[in-house]
Structure 1
């Protein structure tokens, strides 16, 4: 496996040809760039989401090439503050082209401990979050690991609730 820092992720996404699938299993993330937006959200203050434009632009670019960007968020209910924040900004993700499903943790069965991205059902990037936050990923093309991640993708996707339905519950 090789490690990829956060700034290298867009290049990996740009090489994807058919689908980029993301499994999220944590109830909270310590991303430093989200500290202030999360504080504003919890305080009920307005946000222009300028801090999120790089991501939505990358998703628009990716889906504009015909690549599906899909995500399953496994969440504990009731939601943590962070999960409520992520749910609130998921509208921006979906408007940019992501297809997101939510899966309540109590309905998910066994859940792996780590988030991952699966590109074209072949390349896996396991997410690692440092203590002070910040993302890096361990990349592998091992066919056994990719097959395991494909199975998880299929199982969780089939159990998930589309964002538009989940948010209106």
Structure 2
């Protein structure tokens, strides 16, 4: 399977027209860019948040153009330390124009099947998926591009279902 890098996946934000949606299914991520800020937070040290600048600029540019960027974060309760940290930063994503909702794993609608082997994915304009792949330590390996219409339709249906039952960020506390 061919994987694109996170930087190549981020370039997909330059080509979508209406809506980008991310389904997040992990309680911890091993992103190298987050390692130092996360460790600082764990030690109770301040963070200048400059490591988020490029993502925030991208989101502001995309959402200022009238496009939507949404996420549903399916998380376990009690929350992992990572989810607690992630929740504390989500206000920045919201300020940049993203719309983020939280869905405790135990509240997934009965019978919900997670396509794509339970991997995270970005869905762009209901036509293209960037499916995240991770190693055993949770480190991002890259994203697989999927354009199969049946798979895209299944993910679009799941997006709509989960978006309807997930809790908006402002109403969800950790």
Q: TM-score category by the smaller chain?
A: over 0.9
- Range with bigger deviation, 126-135 or 136-145: 126-135
Q: 2:148 aligns with which of 132, 142, 145?
A: 142
Question: How far does the alpha carbon of each residue in 1:18-69 deviate from its partner, in whole angstroms, 9 at most, with x for none?
Answer: 0000000010111111111111111111111000111111111111111100
Distance 1:48 1:21, change over 3 A: same
Normalised TM-score (structure 1): 0.94
* Cα distance in structure 2, aligned partners of 1:136 and 1:60: 24
1:92 aligns with 2:97: no
Q: Which range moves more in the overlay, 58-67 or 128-137?
A: 128-137
The equivalent residue for 1:106 is: 106
Which stretches in structure 2 are left out of the alignment for 5+ residues?
none
**TM-score, length of structure 2 as denominator length:** 0.91
Separation in structure 1 between the aligned mates of residue 86 and residue 151 of structure 2, nearest angstrom:
28
Q: Which runs of 5+ in 1 are unaligned?
A: none
| Residue 3 (structure 1) shift | 2.4
Q: CA deviation at 1:134?
A: 3.3
Q: 1:111 to 1:104 in 2, by over 3 A?
A: farther
Structure 1 residue ranges (4+ consecutive) displaced by more than 4 angstroms after TM superposition: none
User: Residues 134-158 of structure 1, C-alpha deviation per residue, up to 9 Å, x if partnerless?
Assistant: 3511011111010000011011101
- The one of 118, 122, 125 equivalent to 1:120 is 125
1:127 touches 1:138 (CA, 8 Å); kept in 2? Answer: yes
Contact 2:132 2:140 (C-alpha < 8 Å) held by counterparts: no
TM superposition shift of 1:111: 5.4
The answer to whether the aligner puts 1:129 opposite 2:131 as a matched pair is no
1:39 aligns to 2:39 (yes or no): yes
